[in-house]
Amino acid sequence: MNAPLPDSIRPIRFEDGTLFLLDQRRLPQAQLENAYRGAAEVATAIRDMVVRGAPAIGITAAFGVVLACQEARDQGVPHWRTAVDVALDRLAASRPTAVNLFWALDRMRAVLDRCTGADEAVTASLAAAHRMLADDIEANRRMGAAGAELIESGRAVLTHCNTGSLATGGFGTALGVIRSAWAKGRIQGVFADETRPWLQGARLTAWELVQDGIPVQLLCEGAAASLLRSGKVSWVVVGADRIAANGDTANKIGTYGLAILAREHGVRFMVAAPVSTIDYETPDGAGIPIEMRPPSEVLDLAGQRVAAEGAGGWNPAFDVTPARLIDALVTEHGVVMHPDRQALAALRARIETR
């Protein structure tokens, strides 16, 4: 018998003209919501990783557009669309790798193109953003169910970074698969990489799993090879920030190494992501822009210097896993085994004909 789906966390909400974001920088020590009433503040929140995870970034940016429309209306700006376009550009510049950000902003632009005034823009953009949030949660549940079917009972899974409710509108992508697999009795527990230097695995993934009563054991990335050799893990399950047209996948730094280790040890490798993460305009992984974060994130820990003075830091936020190392891509529109250019083109065609 299946257990109830564990799903207790919602990081994004919009009420009474205000966007509220659970500040992920403060977890797990404190659960604080920040309030935002302006689009510029939202762009800063995305850049500073108050919110992170590709789907959550896109949804947050959509509500940032709503705030921009409200600002134009409340200030009586005569050329409201010009003012909102400035905010759109600022939001687009907040983080370069997550394609969901640009997908969401393109959808919001299309909504605004049909509006003739600021009042109409507020109403229409708010409805579109709420729909985006609800659709994301529903898509994650479908994704979770589909991915869980691939996991055989009896062993654990390994995940990297945070791909749960905190990275989405709710439920999660890769962590949604894990939640569904746990509810169906298909996994014994979860191993989670710390995910340095921001420790999203330690601070966020472990916190989410504890909240939902799913057993989790934390490991530093350097222990992954020994874990995979032990036979305790049947699948590595990760998310994605951008997937190129040939299936090459950008995800949190360290994912590429995990994929290589999984292949070496006969452990299968799953990417769970919504179709909005697929960038058909980028032919392969070489064209995916990789965000470089400040060296201080590597050199310091919680504001305290840990590296020798004079040392530099190399801090890419993401790496690219070649499609040949991916056994399954799980989307809300179905599973693509061994994703490549032809398989992703077929997925696109299937969606467009529905």
- Taking 90 as the threshold, does the pLDDT of residue 195 lie above it? yes
Angle between helices 39-47 and 80-92 (to 10 degrees): 10
The overall pTM is greater than 0.85: yes
Q: Are 160 and 236 in contact (CB under 8 A)?
A: yes
- Find out whether 319 and 253 touch, Cβ atoms under 8 Å: yes
> CB-based contacts of 55: which residues, under 8 Å, 6+ apart?
100, 136, 140, 167, 168, 169, 173, 274, 276, 277
pLDDT, residue 353, reads: 87
Report how far apart, in Å, the C-alpha atoms of 136 and of each of 59, 65, 161, 243, 287 are. 9, 18, 19, 17, 26
Q: What is the pLDDT of residues 59-81, one digit of tens each?
A: 999 999 999 999 999 988 778 99
**Number of DSSP helices (H) and strands (E) in the chain, helices first:** 12, 16
294-326 pLDDT per residue, tens? 999 999 987 899 999 999 999 999 999 999 999
* 268 pLDDT higher than 80: yes
Active-site annotation holder among 23, 136, 193, 241: 241
What is the distance between the alpha carbons of residues 177 and 144, in angstroms, rounded to a whole number?
A: 4
Q: Is 106 a catalytic residue?
A: no
Tens digits of residue pLDDT in 247-265: 999 999 999 999 999 999 9
User: If residue 122 lies in a helix (H) or strand (E), which one and from where to where?
Assistant: helix 118-148
Task: State which fold the 12-140 domain adopts.
Answer: Four Helix Bundle (Hemerythrin (Met), subunit A) (1.20.120)
> Residue 125: its pLDDT value, please?
97
Cα angle 271-272-275, degrees, rounded to a multiple of 5: 110
Domain boundaries, given as residue ranges, for the chain: 12-140, 143-352
Fold of 143-352: Rossmann fold (3.40.50)
Task: Examine the pLDDT at 184 and tell me if it is beyond 80.
Answer: yes
Q: To 5 degrees, how large is the angle CA 340–CA 287–CA 193?
A: 75
Specify the range with the lowest mean pLDDT, choosing from 45-54, 138-147, 177-186, 256-265: 45-54
pLDDT of res. 2: 67
Output the average pLDDT for the chain. 94
